[in-house]
Chains A and B, each alone.
Chain A
Amino acid sequence: GEDVEQSLFLSVREGDSSVINCTYTDSSSTYLYWYKQEPGAGLQLLTYIFSNMDMKQDQRLTVLLNKKDKHLSLRIADTQTGDSAIYFCAEGIYGNKLVFGAGTILRVKS
């Protein structure tokens, strides 16, 4: 069945790069998403990548997709304290609802 796994916690120093990893199981995924959740709020879409792409860059965010290994990563360059949040990856398969990972808590130390 579908399953998305993420590491639970990541701690980085302000100014360093953060890399959040995610693995998924369904090779028929069409889109893969990264969402950010700040405390007490809903989820906001950060970025997404279509399954036929290897990489997508959007300002400080870089998404890498290794389809062979079913591995997705989100790199945040020059991490700031405002980046502290929970990050969820999700896979979308055509015609089916999104499947979310459990989320990775990113803590940025100043």
Chain B
Amino acid sequence: DGGITQSPKYLFRKEGQNVTLSCEQNLNHDAMYWYRQDPGQGLRLIYYSQIVNDFQKGDIAEGYSVSREKKESFPLTVTSAQKNPTAFYLCASSRSTSGELFFGEGSRLTVL
């Protein structure tokens, strides 16, 4: 079955550590996205990529980094520069930039 897989589902990190969240899709979609969701808030776009080897900053890119070396994969690194990283992170993909988004099940990151 086609879909988006995020891992890990839960992750704990000590302050000062970098952590990488995985996102893989087998839908053959060109565009991929990372969103952050905080309790009681909507989705905020971190980074997005419309094509392999290219990506753009979203609304809250500071303290995060991404890569897009393969069409199927769009990992997100939460760096120690991110001041408040505890959140629910959602990865999504779409056939085209303005098309329907397909979401993964999310990764919950907690900084201890």
Contact = CB atoms under 8 A, between A and B. Distances in A.
Interface of A: 30-31, 33, 35, 40-45, 48, 88, 90, 92-98, 100-103
B100 interface: yes
A45 B103 CA distance: 9
Contacts, number: 58
Interface string B5-46: 010000000000000000000000001010000000111010
Q: Is the interface of B mostly helix, strand, loop or mixed?
A: strand
A8 B56 CA distance: 30
Of the listed residues B4, B31, B42, B97, the one surrounded by the most CB atoms of chain A closer than 10 A to its CB is: B42
Contact of B98 (A43, A44, A88, A98): A98
Interface of B: 4, 6, 31, 33, 41-43, 45, 48, 90, 92, 94, 97-106, 108
A13 to B, nearest CB: 23
9 contacts: A30-B98, A31-B98, A42-B104, A43-B90, A90-B101, A92-B99, A94-B98, A98-B94, A100-B42
Contacts of A97: 31, 33, 45, 48, 97-98
A102 B97 contact: no
Contacts of A48: 100
